[in-house]
Structure 1
Amino acid sequence: MIQKLTRAPWWLLVMALGIIVFIVWASRDTTYVSVWDAVREGIWTTIWISVTAYALALVLGLLIALLRRSSNIFIYQAVTFYVELVRGIPTLVLVYYLALALIPQIILNIQDLGSSFEHLVVTFNVTGGWSFDLDLGRVGSRMANFETRDFPNANRAIIALAVSYSAFLSEVFRAGLDSISIGQREAARSLGMTRWQVMRFIVLPQAIRVILPPLGNDFIAMLKESSLVSVLGVTDITRRGITRATGQFVFFPVYNIMAITYLVMTLSLSMAVKLLEMYLDRGQDR
């Protein structure tokens, strides 16, 4: 009985009680109410950016993890270089670099490429005595007129977060794939299964159990780091809070509301991850 009481999440109960007391008290303060009305409009933006960026990071991270298992030395070295490069750059610097340097430069290159064949018409001569023209001018005109402002900062932020976390998620996937014994793979190959079939039917289903909890923790980390997109003017929780704080000089209420909002979101996700771990542990015990 004493051991169960010791393991009980008292810290969580105390924190939840503190949050409830704060909400009840703040709901009676007109300043806090007005701040909350401003900040809550950024919650959906924060969730949307986090979920979209994380989904892209999952796909890219899994692809990188699979490529790092390639027997081709050039592919392995190239992918490893990408992982180490991205992991070595702070997320904020990566957001600035991709959103304000690399992506605008790519758009300029697209404009130059579009201008080069804006009036280009390609004629194809086909056997049988007939031909047809392919007008590349429309495509070139659209490319030439594509402006930097046509690619919103929110999309740039999503790409930056996805690139940043793809390197970390690839390590999670790699650890999960390596946790499956090589004997199972060899047994599957001896039964005539291809490498893709082994990965799809043998390795991945088992690796999922291993990688789900750390993937959940990484999503929580991304949710918190999504606040960095506020530097691009994206109207998430942080940006809306900063705007209200600097506009009306109510810094203490604003940052209290922001901290509590993020805390409630991350604690809810942490409990969900914990329940998932308990469920997976029970499944393994069976």
Structure 2
Amino acid sequence: MNYNWNWGVLFEEEYLGWLISGVGWTFSVALVAWVLALAVGILVGVGRTLPSRPVALLCTTYVEIFRNVPLLVQLFLWYFVLPEIVPSDMGRWMKRDMPNPEYVTAVVGLGLYTASRVAEQVRAGINAVGGGLTSAAYANGLSTAQTYRYVLLPISFRLIVPPMTSEFLTIFKNSSLALTIGLLELTAQSQQIAEYTFQGFEAFTAATVIYVVIALCATVIAQILERHTKIPGFVGKA
């Protein structure tokens, strides 16, 4: 294979600017979507464990729908289908007048999809606390809301730090699908560099290295957080 390697193209002002812009959009999408995923996921995860069967059923339905439909399909539904089925004025605003529709769609789609996965982690964390503490809380006169606030959630949130690290890394990787609706995040900018320069290996290698660095930094931060939040007796030596 006689490939003309040229790593210097990545440091040319125009293409380096594209990479930096792509990293910025990747962080912007992933972090805002993560905030949305945490907010919705915690509510849905708690709802799945409540004594109220209608609330639990509604939350379970949300999880099963969003978790089992591929993220790419969901992004297409949010971006291409939703503006066509809402009232015409709203659909026109979503397609033409809404600021950064690709970015908003990516955040909403990625956030709500990840929320279904966060909800499962929250539900598992609450169930891992065990019925003994819940019964003790009720025996001491705490209401359901107080039991969740003072007993179940403080413990379960500390238990789910390791699996939530995986979800946090996944949301960064899934943000690359936003290129399919026109958002110029890191993968899209790398593809654009490859098309303009015909240096595809260099462009996608740069994207790979950046993703790896992001993942390693997030893992280190998560390990520090896990070390400070682990509960003796709940977390094993492994």
Matches within 5 A, 1:197-208: 197-208=146-157
Q: Return the letter of the residue paired with 1:251.
A: G
Structure holding more strand per residue: 1
Correspondence for 2:28 among 44, 48, 52: 48
Q: Does structure 1 conserve the Cα–Cα contact (< 8 Å) formed by 2:84 and 2:91?
A: no
Find the aligned partners of 2:73 and 2:102 in 1 and give their Cα distance: 15
Q: Does structure 1 conserve the Cα–Cα contact (< 8 Å) formed by 2:74 and 2:109?
A: yes
Matches within 5 A, 1:110-259: 111=89, 146-151=93-98, 152-259=101-208
Q: Which residue of 1 aligns with 2:71?
A: 91
Find the aligned partners of 2:149 and 2:54 in 1 and give their Cα distance: 24
Larger-Rg structure: 1
Q: Which residue of 2 aligns with 1:105?
A: 84
Question: What is the Cα deviation at residue 242 of structure 1?
Answer: 1.3
Find the aligned partners of 2:29 and 2:45 in 1 and give their Cα distance: 24
Question: What is the Cα deviation at residue 259 of structure 1?
Answer: 0.7
Q: Which residue of 2 aligns with 1:273?
A: 222
Q: Which residue of 2 aligns with 1:30?
A: 8
Q: Return the letter of the residue paired with 1:261.
A: I
Sort the Cα spacing of 1:110 and 1:192 in 2 relative to 1 into closer, same or farther, 3 A: farther
Find the aligned partners of 1:60 and 1:110 in 2 and give their Cα distance: 28
Q: Return the letter of the residue paired with 2:232.
A: Q
Sort the Cα spacing of 1:29 and 1:72 in 2 relative to 1 into closer, same or farther, 3 A: closer
Find the aligned partners of 2:51 and 2:156 in 1 and give their Cα distance: 21
**What SS does the aligned partner of 2:93 have?**
coil
Q: Deviations over 1:154-213 (max 9, x none)?
A: 001100001111111100000111111222122222222111111101111111110122
Deviates more, 1:190-199 or 1:74-83: 74-83
Q: Return the letter of the residue paired with 1:86.
A: F
Sort the Cα spacing of 1:49 and 1:144 in 2 relative to 1 into closer, same or farther, 3 A: closer
Q: Does structure 2 conserve the Cα–Cα contact (< 8 Å) formed by 1:213 and 1:276?
A: no
**What SS does the aligned partner of 1:234 have?**
coil
Q: Which residue of 1 aligns with 2:236?
A: none
Q: Does structure 1 conserve the Cα–Cα contact (< 8 Å) formed by 2:7 and 2:202?
A: no
Find the aligned partners of 1:144 and 1:78 in 2 and give their Cα distance: 27
Find the aligned partners of 1:205 and 1:191 in 2 and give their Cα distance: 18
TM-score in terms of structure 2 length? 0.86
Q: Which runs of 5+ in 1 are unaligned?
A: 1-25, 112-142
TM-score in terms of structure 1 length? 0.72
Alignment root-mean-square deviation, CA: 2.2
Q: Return the letter of the residue paired with 1:223.
A: F
Question: What is the Cα deviation at residue 64 of structure 1?
Answer: 0.9
Paired positions, count: 225
Q: Return the letter of the residue paired with 1:58.
A: L
Q: Does structure 2 conserve the Cα–Cα contact (< 8 Å) formed by 1:68 and 1:80?
A: yes
Question: What is the Cα deviation at residue 110 of structure 1?
Answer: 5.9
Q: Does structure 2 conserve the Cα–Cα contact (< 8 Å) formed by 1:153 and 1:234?
A: yes
Find the aligned partners of 1:88 and 1:186 in 2 and give their Cα distance: 34
Deviates more, 1:267-276 or 1:58-67: 267-276
Q: Does structure 2 conserve the Cα–Cα contact (< 8 Å) formed by 1:217 and 1:273?
A: no
Q: Return the letter of the residue paired with 2:93.
A: F
Q: Which runs of 5+ in 2 are unaligned?
A: 234-238
Find the aligned partners of 2:215 and 2:119 in 1 and give their Cα distance: 23
Q: Return the letter of the residue paired with 1:259.
A: T
